[in-house]
Amino acid sequence: MVQSSTNGRSARQDGHGPVPDEALDALVTVLDEIRLGQSTSRSELVERTGLSRAIVAQRVGELIERGLVTEGDVGPSTGGRPPRQLTFRADGGYVLVADLGATSIDVAVTTLDGRILGHHDEPARIEAGPDRCLDRVDALVESLLRTTEALPGRLWGIGIGVPGPVEFEAGRPISPPIMPGWDGYPIRERFADRYGAPVWVDNDVNVLALGEWRSGVAAGHDNVVVVKIGTGVGAGIISDGHLHRGAQGSAGDVGHIQVTDDPAVVCRCGNIGCLEALAGGAALARAGQAAAEDGRSPRLRAALDQRGTVTAEDVARAASFGDPLAMGLLQDAGRRVGSMLASVVNFFNPSLVVIGGGVANSPDQFLASIRETVYRRSLPLATRDLLVQRSSLGGLAGVIGASAMVVDQLFSRDAIGRWIETGDPSGVTGRPVART
Ligand SMILES: [Zn+2]
């Protein structure tokens, strides 16, 4: 049953057959505990998973033999024989990620636990279309691979985030409003063919949510809404300890909730009155530009004269200098986002709302006005222990989250069952196999 493999692990496979189904569940449970840092010893595993001491010992032994877990120094003793520390072998391979925003590209190389080994970001326009954007991603990836020292092992998987709705099963954007030319584009196949590794694609808000949940402010929370306010507005949902993508992958697309029936508010999606058309970064930039042209804000006027255009960042900067008009624009946008979030909070009852994205780097008034509106408009029980916080990872949340998406998929029960026998995950197609 042992398949041929070109990597160094094949030597260790002698005597290892396929993992039986019933053992796979325990194997994945034990591995998740170790790689997510929740258990660091066999006794902790027994305590936390409810598995028997014998089963834990067997599964840990298998994970060590298969090179996924290492047994380190003796840990602190709590009386009796001191436990050996179990560690996930995060340098068993590396992950490539690209987080494409409306106006930026981030690429990174990470270890299997999301530690960033190399990172590069630069301005880019997603509307340039898939060929130009992804050619640029390839060039940046090649340069990263050249300059990153001591790449661990080989490529295990690729994670891509894009600023539009993605059918997660297919790895393709579907009618993305701000991504002309990308509708149905086979992003997964393109990267899989080029790099020979499994690929997962999701929208930029879901990867942001995964990043904040795995390594940022949302760590330890089981029910979280992560709102991204960049050029557009969207939300990622962590529900009962899982990223909730919904039936097709479009869950959390709150930017296109209708918040006004004013026919003058036309959204890029083609509908009237969407939140995004009033409170997204593009809307803020538009309102700032109008104010600059009318001479209502000297500071925005100066930005317009300098660069010929006003951006959402200009509005945020003007507000941080106390420009009353810019502050008013941000407060209005904050109230609109807060009002939408109050409905979401009543509906979903999260313990934490995270505000991220470019506009979230605004002065405190923006977050304050979101927070005030959420608390005022939501039910008392829903807000009793509710936290509303700013994203803690800044610009790195997307790449950290895209890396977590890849590793969670690779180590999901169905996927690991398909590759653990050979120790070579490159044969996994990237077809999503389980929720993360
Ligand atoms: Zn819309």
Query: pLDDT value at position 8?
Result: 39
Q: Give the Å distance between the CA of 177 and the centre of ligand 1.
A: 8
Q: Give the Å distance between the CA of 260 and the centre of ligand 1.
A: 11
**What's the DSSP call for residue 2?**
P
Q: Give the Å distance between the CA of 393 and the centre of ligand 1.
A: 28
Q: Give the Å distance between the CA of 276 and the centre of ligand 1.
A: 6
Q: Give the Å distance between the CA of 145 and the centre of ligand 1.
A: 38
Q: Give the Å distance between the CA of 288 and the centre of ligand 1.
A: 20
Query: pLDDT value at position 51?
Result: 95
Query: pLDDT value at position 436?
Result: 42
Q: Give the Å distance between the CA of 164 and the centre of ligand 1.
A: 12
Q: Give the Å distance between the CA of 222 and the centre of ligand 1.
A: 29
Name the CA dihedral angle for 229, 165, 138, 212, rounded to a multiple of 10 degrees.
Answer: 50
Query: pLDDT value at position 364?
Result: 84
Give the pLDDT confidence of 385-423 residue by residue, as tens digits.
999 999 999 889 999 999 999 999 999 988 998 888 888
Helices 53-65 and 42-49 pack at an angle, to 10 degrees, of 120
pLDDT lower than 50: segments of the chain: 1-15, 433-436
Q: Give the Å distance between the CA of 273 and the centre of ligand 1.
A: 7
Can you tell me the distance from the alpha carbon of 216 to that of 351, in angstroms, rounded to the nearest whole number? 15
Phi, psi values for residue 214, rounded to 5°:
-75, -45
Kind and range of the H or E element at 71? Answer: strand 69-74
Query: pLDDT value at position 129?
Result: 97
Cα angle, residue 281 at apex, residues 276 and 284 outer, rounded to 5°: 95
Q: Give the Å distance between the CA of 275 and the centre of ligand 1.
A: 7
Q: Give the Å distance between the CA of 424 and the centre of ligand 1.
A: 43
Cα angle, residue 397 at apex, residues 276 and 281 outer, rounded to 5°: 20
Query: pLDDT value at position 16?
Result: 55
Q: Give the Å distance between the CA of 56 and the centre of ligand 1.
A: 50
Q: Give the Å distance between the CA of 272 and the centre of ligand 1.
A: 7
The β-bridge relationship of strands 154-162 and 199-203 is parallel
* Nearest in space to 426 (alpha carbons), one of 142, 155, 168, 202: 155
DSSP 87-108: EE-GGGEEEEEEEE-SSEEEEE
Query: pLDDT value at position 363?
Result: 77
Q: Give the Å distance between the CA of 392 and the centre of ligand 1.
A: 28
Q: Give the Å distance between the CA of 341 and the centre of ligand 1.
A: 16
Q: Give the Å distance between the CA of 173 and the centre of ligand 1.
A: 16
Q: Give the Å distance between the CA of 165 and the centre of ligand 1.
A: 12
